Structure 1
Amino acid sequence: MKKQLGMLLFFVLVIAIYGLVNLYIYKQSGPIFAIGNPVGKFLKIIFIVLVISYPAGRLFERLIPSEITNYIIKAGSIWLGAMVYLCLFLLFIHLIRLTIPLLGQINICIHADKSLVHKKIVIATYIVTAIMLLGGYINARHPKVNRIPLITHKNIEGYPTLRVGAASDIHLGVLMSNGRLKQFVNMMNSLNPDIILLAGDIFDEDIGFVVKNDMGKLLSELKAPLGVYAVTGNHEYIGGVEPAVEYLEKHGVKVLRDSAIVVKGIFNLVGREDRQAKMIGGIDRKPLSDLTRDLDTNKLTILLDHQPFRLSEAVENAIDLQISGHTHHGQLFPFNLITGAIFEVSKGLKRIDGTTIYVSNGYGTWGPPIRVGNKPEIILFEIVEGK
């Protein structure tokens, strides 16, 4: 009951913030909605439809899934990105308009029609936002491969170079459907990895769309001689963790849930439940020390943990390589500044004593199918023995 109340309060808070941000955009966009009577009314209708599209689409997705619902979600997701930048730009303009008179500056609008100048500025803001969204959309659909050479002092028997293909945050669903998944599978397989590791948030939300479109068939085309392994992320729990795990296992992806294995006797692989397992799913997450207690520390040890919190745990438990995701490195600038403040590592590589931490930007997107200030990625770790 307490958990359900907490989730309800969180949902209400999110909707309230969403509503207030859109109300602010509407108020500051007044000149656009006043462009001629019929045109202004039409633009108001478009605005309202876009605002309600995403929450309505996600609701309909669960109640009455259909192709129309998918298009509603797609339109709404684009608006989420527009909402971010319109709010930031319009707030900046608003502050300038308030500040200039306070500084005693001569407002250039004094000798012009202020309403006309304001209208032009607002229109320009929408145009700049549209250009940014287009660029971010194109960027999100062109992932890169990051090759990370690593040296280990542990024995990797039979592998002069251990090639570990990794990815996180694929977010399979309406916004990351079969074509994008096929691209991912082809890119990953082209790297000829010895093993493939997926660090959580493989699904976006409910797996209904994934099942309906038989995306598991594509997942099963991932090829690596040592296997394909994954851990849960918070989105597996949001959408229903048990069906998600069952679907992955059915299609050749072994999910490690607070467990450790020795891969073909070569190296240790540890997979943790997502840190929100308790809050969302009521599942207790085991301490990392419980998972590593019986491992042979003379072997290379790789940890999959979706969210990069408490990195000191990995160091304390003799982890050689931790692979995480979750942050998307903010996905949209300037949110990378926030993730950089919250997480010890928001993106990329960091070495702490004998432990290497890698936090991926992710392959897919959440919310808007847009990336500004970072690129989607697949990682290939090329691990060799050193003296």
Structure 2
Amino acid sequence: MFGVMLSALVALMHWYIWKRLVKDTMRRGRARRVLTVLVVVLAMLVFATLTLPRLIGVAASGWFAWPGYIWFGLVVYLFLTLLVLELPRLALRPWTRRTPLEATATAPVPPGASPPAETTPAAESPQPAEAAAPARSAGQGVSRRLFLARSTGLVASTAAVSLTGVGMANALGPPDLLRVPVRLPNLDPAFDGFRIAVVSDIHLGPLSGRAHSERIVRMINETSPDMVAIVGDLADGSVDELGPAAEPLRDLVSREGTFFVTGNHEYFEEPFVWLRELDRLGLHSLRNENTVIRRGGAAFDLAGVNDISGRLVDDGPDFDKALAGRDSSRPTVLLAHQPVQVSEAAKRGVALQLSGHTHGGQLWPFHYIVDAQQGAVAGLSTVDGTQLYVTRGAGFWGPPVRVGAPPDITVLSLRS
């Protein structure tokens, strides 16, 4: 269903862009036909980029994934800016409208019919320059429409290219390193200042490979964390193709180790093969289970639940199982990919949930939709007594574009 809806939306956006940037701005002719074919080819490129990597593999799709996804990002902002510009187009519409006299002057004469008879006396007949005035006015009406269409097209194109360019610089650049203090009730003073490096949505795939994961590992290690939490969506592809890109994760260094929970993308391809690979790399997967983090005689509970998408393969979240056996006198930190899962965590008295999934919205203004669906987009908030921290993620999905939502790696400092 998601694929059908996305395909319909892509087709609609390309039709609308063709209408406003090609049909409305150009007269019939060869150039218009060429640009029409180009728009169709680019639409097919987007469809291929969204579907073929899973069929032919990540390595074979790299050559068209880059232009396909970049064009997809540009299409999104062309579509949005053109929609916004519909308002001034409507306001200026009367300025482009022809008068009845102009319409009559330019109305075609049916085949075989004679032009309208001249009823004005010869002595009062207009001069040639005056007779040409209605025709010039009609031409001005056409010129105004073309001028308005071309002007709005130019403004939309400039804005879309600028936004996409800035967004690419954000997405492909190093993630922001955020440091956020979090006060937990009942946390033993022995854990005061305990640092958890939180990263999510790395999204290894056709556009992000080994260099991407190496940079993330280097940035995390430079913070000297006590623990690393990877909260889902590591890769978009098979272990055979993307396993080498994930190998740098074995070099993550922290006192308590690295813990991982599944995201929705883990269930798109080989979820259990990926879990075995991560175990081999030294990451501890928390699959509806918990463990105790100790410092001397003090402790807190760390739990993890599977992503909601795991239900498709009978591997969904089980909060009761994940939180079984914990000590209610000490705080529990829960790893859960989707922020919306916090409602179940709050019912069970979890002190802090760490999540990703949202990408911070990735492409403004879609963060409003994400917020409505997930209840949180990024940062620290409180839901029914449970604190929720949502990272914007270190990678991207689809277009290598982030507007208003730069990638991040967060180091949380627990406070007693």
TM-score norm. by structure 2 comes to: 0.81
Give the SS at the match of 1:198: strand
Q: What's the offset of the Cα at 1:70? A: 0.5
Alignment partner for residue 276 of structure 1, among 303, 306, 309? 309
Contact preservation (8 Å) 1:31, 1:119: no
Letter in structure 2 aligned against 1:146: L
Letter in structure 1 aligned against 2:250: S
Which sits farther off after the overlay, 240-249 or 327-336?
240-249
Which residue of structure 2 aligns with residue 147 of structure 1?
179
| Greater C-alpha Rg | 2
Cα distance change on mapping 1:319 and 1:66 into 2, 3 Å: closer
Contact preservation (8 Å) 1:199, 1:323: yes
Which residue of structure 2 aligns with residue 312 of structure 1?
343
Cα distance change on mapping 1:360 and 1:155 into 2, 3 Å: closer
Contact preservation (8 Å) 2:338, 2:356: yes
Q: What's the offset of the Cα at 1:37? A: 5.7
Match status 1:242 vs 2:272: yes
Alignment partner for residue 290 of structure 2, among 257, 260, 265? 260
Match status 1:14 vs 2:13: no
Match status 1:184 vs 2:176: no
1:269-325 CA distance string (max 9 Å, x none)? 1110101211x3233432x23322310122331101111115232222121110011
1:330-386 CA distance string (max 9 Å, x none)? 11111011112222222111124542111111111111111111211111111132x
Which residue of structure 1 aligns with residue 356 of structure 2?
325
Q: What's the offset of the Cα at 1:91? A: 2.2
Which residue of structure 1 aligns with residue 378 of structure 2?
347
1:71-115 CA distance string (max 9 Å, x none)? 2111111122112111112223334434544xxx54598594421
Alignment partner for residue 250 of structure 2, among 192, 204, 220? 220
Cα distance change on mapping 1:331 and 1:292 into 2, 3 Å: same
In structure 2, what is the Cα distance between the partners aligned to 1:65 and 1:353? 44
Alignment partner for residue 114 of structure 1, among 130, 142, 145? 145
In structure 1, what is the Cα distance between the partners aligned to 2:336 and 2:317? 11
Match status 1:374 vs 2:400: no
In structure 1, what is the Cα distance between the partners aligned to 2:191 and 2:82? 56
Contact preservation (8 Å) 1:322, 1:357: yes
Letter in structure 2 aligned against 1:191: T
Which residue of structure 2 aligns with residue 138 of structure 1?
169
In structure 2, what is the Cα distance between the partners aligned to 1:335 and 1:58? 19
Cα distance change on mapping 1:80 and 1:282 into 2, 3 Å: farther
Which residue of structure 2 aligns with residue 231 of structure 1?
261
Q: What's the offset of the Cα at 1:42? A: 4.9
Aligned length: 370
Alignment partner for residue 55 of structure 1, among 29, 47, 50? 47
Match status 1:166 vs 2:198: yes
User: Alpha carbon RMSD of aligned pairs, Å?
Assistant: 2.6
In structure 2, what is the Cα distance between the partners aligned to 1:209 and 1:86? 34
Q: What's the offset of the Cα at 1:155? A: 4.2
Alignment partner for residue 233 of structure 2, among 189, 194, 201? 201
Q: Name segments (4+ residues, structure 1) moved above 6 Å.
A: none
Match status 1:27 vs 2:19: yes
Which residue of structure 2 aligns with residue 76 of structure 1?
68
Cα distance change on mapping 1:304 and 1:43 into 2, 3 Å: same
Give the SS at the match of 1:309: helix
1:110-158 CA distance string (max 9 Å, x none)? 5944214422331332222111111001112232111111223434475
In structure 1, what is the Cα distance between the partners aligned to 2:180 and 2:45? 40
Which sits farther off after the overlay, 361-370 or 119-128?
119-128
Which sits farther off after the overlay, 68-77 or 105-114?
105-114
Cα distance change on mapping 1:160 and 1:92 into 2, 3 Å: closer
In structure 1, what is the Cα distance between the partners aligned to 2:258 and 2:190? 19
Cα distance change on mapping 1:124 and 1:153 into 2, 3 Å: closer
TM-score norm. by structure 1 comes to: 0.87
Letter in structure 1 aligned against 2:302: L
Contact preservation (8 Å) 1:33, 1:43: no
In structure 2, what is the Cα distance between the partners aligned to 1:147 and 1:66? 34
Match status 1:384 vs 2:384: no
Contact preservation (8 Å) 1:324, 1:360: yes
Give the SS at the match of 2:221: helix
Contact preservation (8 Å) 1:32, 1:123: no
Q: How does 1:29-44 map to 2 (within 5 A)?
A: 29-30=21-22, 34=26, 40=32, 42-44=34-36
Contact preservation (8 Å) 2:303, 2:335: yes
Contact preservation (8 Å) 2:24, 2:146: no
In structure 2, what is the Cα distance between the partners aligned to 1:77 and 1:236? 21
Which residue of structure 2 aligns with residue 4 of structure 1?
none
Contact preservation (8 Å) 2:287, 2:322: no
1:32-67 CA distance string (max 9 Å, x none)? 884896655554444333322233135432333375
Cα distance change on mapping 1:174 and 1:22 into 2, 3 Å: same
